[in-house]
Amino acid sequence: MADTTVPVFSLTELRKGADQEKFRRCVTEMGVFYLTDYGVREKDHRLAADTAMDFFEHGTPEEKEAVTTKIPTMRRGYSALEAESTAQVTNTGTYTDYSMSYSMGVSGNLFPSQRFETVWTDHFTSLYAAAREAARVVLNATGTYDAGDMDKLLDCDPVLRLRYFPEVPEHRAAEREPRRMAPHYDLSIITLIHQTPCANGFVSLQAEIGGTMVDLPAVPDAVIVLCGAIAPLATQGAVPAPQHHVRAPGAGMREGSDRMSSVFFLRPSTDFTFSVPKARTYGLDVSLDAETATFGEWIGTNYITMHATTES
């Protein structure tokens, strides 16, 4: 198992009541952990990833255009290399995300083929079940949950996204642009991340813990669980939403630095309502000018900004 300072928990054991105090400290102090025994097999992750990669590599420009959404507030279908900028959303720069991706949700999907739809729908269903169970143990860990009926909260609007980070070109090496993706927290209840390691050993994903960015290497048979921005809103600020980013390799580490990341965002329904002032006291950046807002209003503006074109 990979060496990591972030603890590893078994979902099966957590549901039995094991490691509760250790888990509570991890959730409240870090907001990130590894999870095993969560009900999704490695071969299913590989099948979904390989299906997307085959489309990335062999899909024609016309086929990719056909599954590129025209709705700026939704993550669906294909997103080309450098088509998005997390830095623009977080006001930390104008550089693009050095990745391409494919995304799906519960509706409004754009599938390139029937086989693709079958593989991804099965994988989505399995990850949705796993994410809901993981979210339950997170939200119950602190004893401060106050977001109403938890079953209703977790019957939500998730997104599954496969990101491929190719080897960076010279102008995107760390010496010139330190990151493939800017620091951010996720707009989710929790996020599950299954990643492939870089062949050359470079660790690209990091999360902020105690003011320091800590490596999150790939761990066999495990996913990373990151608590998202809805977690503090639902637990009276007890659970943080850690910042994380994707580093660029240095010039000497570019070869063999490509990686894949399968990311499942357990997002609340668009009508989930929260207090804007409270969100700000929890350290969340909500620019909406209102006392209360819905999740749909919050995330919609972010997606539009992410896809805005900016001269750099």
Which residues are marked as active site? Answer: 75
Burial label, 265 (beta-carbon count in 10 A; 0-12, 13-18, 19+): buried
Burial label, 278 (beta-carbon count in 10 A; 0-12, 13-18, 19+): middle
Burial label, 80 (beta-carbon count in 10 A; 0-12, 13-18, 19+): middle
> Edge-to-edge strands of the sheet including 244-247?
179-184, 244-247, 205-209, 212-215
- Fill in the amino acid letter for 92: T
| DSSP assignments along 74-124, one per residue | ---EEE-TT---HHHHTTS-SPPPS-EEEEE-SSS---SSHHHHHHHHHHH
Q: Which DSSP state fits 257?
A: -
b/e per residue, 156-195, with b = 16+ CB within 10 A? bbbbbbbbbbebbeeebbbeebebbbbbbbbbbbbbbbbb
Q: Which two tokens stand for residue 280?
A: 């700000």
b/e per residue, 91-125, with b = 16+ CB within 10 A? eeeebbbbbbbbbbbeeebbbbeeebeebbeebbe
Instruction: Determine if residue 219 is left, alpha or beta; phi over 0 gives left, psi from -120 to 50 gives alpha, anything else beta.
Output: beta
